[in-house]
Amino acid sequence: MAATREETATARTIVLDVPGWPGHLAGQHVDVRLTAPDGYSTERSYSIASAPPDGGADPPVVELTVQRLPDGEVSPYLTQTLAVGYPLELRGPVGGWFVWNPDGPASTRPVLLVAGGSGVVPLMAIIRERAAAGSHAPFKLIYSVRDSGALLYAGELTQREQAGDGLEVSYVYTRTAPPGSSQPAGRLNAATLASAGWPPEESPAVFVCGPTGFVEAVADLLVRAGHGAGAIKTERFGPSGGKP
């Protein structure tokens, strides 16, 4: 581990130097394995938060943002114990489904990203990759979060949105909306998906990531609104064994 950044009271980004990293696509994850001195080992998947390394850094840098789960087996170690210089066993990059590729055939198509809580992590990798690749594909991010204290990447998202190059961010607060919010606290609903997302006629590529219940609900709403099921890619994480 090369460095850390605290993102919220319970989430931190760990910056890893990974010699020999082959590069990755935005949206992919890694499997992290921890092994105890007695040989017991356990593995979790974590989404990669950073855009693919541009080849400038040697060794290549990969960032993970880890949300600490109170009863977690792996996340407390990664967010509290792991210190700069410690080694970490990684497998990856993994996954070729939940990815956005700026060089792909559909790279200019509008994109809708819908995040539930720390499900924003792989979507942030996609947003960072869009910027790194100089893409002007129109992007909309709808970010559902408990309250403003749980927001990941708040400053960076504001900055990227203010760059005015086609990224729009909307926030949905499920428990406490900050003063001045346009809407009271509540769950992401069909009306917000319609006003903050793309209409189905624009044929957006849709990426939804969050807890299982959130992903189910959003995917249902999108299909009911007329989006093709085939255009919606989802990534769920459970309460344990979870990602990101």
- The tokens describing 2, both together, are 């090369």
What is the distance between the alpha carbons of residues 157 and 141, in angstroms, rounded to a whole number? 10
Candidate list 107, 148, 183, 212; residue touching other proteins; CB under 8 A: 212
CB-wise, 171 or 214, nearer to other proteins? 214
Nearest to 102 by CA among 135, 125, 124: 135
CB-wise, 138 or 211, nearer to other proteins? 211
Residue 98 interacting with other proteins (CB under 8 A)? yes
User: In sequence order, which residues have a C-beta less than 8 Å from that of residue 122 and are 6 or more positions away?
Assistant: 26, 27, 28, 29, 47, 48, 49, 98, 207, 209, 235, 244
Helix (H, G, I), strand (E, B) or coil at 235: strand
Cβ 94 to other proteins shortest distance, Å? 4
Residue 128 interacting with other proteins (CB under 8 A)? no
DSSP state of 124: H
Number of residues that bind other proteins (CB under 8 A): 26
Residue 239 interacting with other proteins (CB under 8 A)? yes
Candidate list 16, 21, 26, 29; residue touching other proteins; CB under 8 A: 29
Binding site for other proteins (CB under 8 A): 29-31, 43, 45, 91-92, 94-98, 212-213, 216, 233-243
